[in-house]
Amino acid sequence: MRLLVVEDEPDLARQLESSLKDAGYAVDVAADGEEAHFLGDTEPYDAVVLDLGLPKLDGVSVLERWRQDGKTMPVLILTARDQWNDKVAGFDAGADDYVAKPFHTEEVLARLRAILRRSAGQASAELECGPLRVDTRGARVSVDGHPVKLTSLEYRLLAYLMHHQGRVVSRTELVEHLYDQDFDRDSNTIEVFVGRLRKKLKINVIRTVRGLGYCLSPPEEDNETLTQAQ
């Protein structure tokens, strides 16, 4: 899952970037409203953490422009604790949730997990696919109750597929959502990571849909079901 953090305070931006990366996300950072608007308009983010008090272009204006342009990624706004009017303006502009400064990073992570689940139509923090379980709160993976150890990129790939179960996801889409802006992207590496995941999970949940990409579905679903999911 790929996130954009928009924060003009360098220390806070670094703290958020580090915490989100540690939680398994790919993260880009913008320090002003103009850069944020450009990145949100041109890159496919799964969610955005958006400070409202930004230089060059304020956060509410950035969000309004994104929504006017048809951008639907969930947005978590950061507001000053006593500025209730900022919260109202943010929600009216299209925000999905807010966190008041100063905040605990754990709250930001929890609210992000919640809006990501909602955007994917998921209700629980624990995603399930047959015997496969992914606990997004602690980035833990298990099969039939047995823990499976994954690298950061392997987990990121599996989590993205779990959030989009039953849908065919192209290699290009995976590349766009797994790597941050500065990463040397190569769609061929997706095949390598999928192969590693299959070996570690030891269950047939990641299906290759020839010429289109990959689809994650419970082991009992057959190829006809996958074709209908395209």
Q: Are residues 107 and 140 in the same domain?
A: no
Kindly give, in sequence order, each residue whose CB lies less than 8 Å from that of residue 171, ignoring residues fewer than 6 positions away: 187, 190, 191, 213, 214
222 and 185 in a common domain: yes
Looking at the whole model, is its pTM more than 0.95? no
- Whether residue 145 is found in the same domain as residue 209: yes
In which domain, by residue range, is 86 found? 2-119
- Examine the domain organization and report whether 105 and 130 are in the same domain: no
Residues 113, 11 share a domain: yes
Instruction: Kindly state whether residues 95 and 133 are assigned to the same domain.
Output: no
Q: What is the DSSP string of 156-175?
A: HHHHHHHHTTTS-B-HHHHH
- 84-111: average pLDDT: 91
Q: Domains in the chain: how many in total?
A: 2
Report the mean per-residue pLDDT for the chain.
88
E strands of the chain, at which residues?
A: 2-6, 26-30, 47-51, 75-80, 97-101, 126-129, 132-135, 140-143, 146-148, 206-209, 213-216
In this structure, what CATH number is given to the domain that contains residue 26? 3.40.50.2300
- Report pLDDT for 180: 73
- 86 shares its domain with 161: no
Give residue 119's pLDDT band: very low, low, confident or very high (50, 70, 90).
confident
Alpha carbon distance 129, 122 (integer Å):
12
pLDDT at 138: 85
Sign of the CA dihedral 66, 157, 19, 179? negative
Q: In the prediction, which pLDDT does 224 show?
A: 44
User: Which one of 91, 119, 147 terminates a domain?
Assistant: 119
Question: Residue 212 belongs to a domain with what CATH number?
Answer: 1.10.10.10
Pair (78, 167) in one structural domain: no
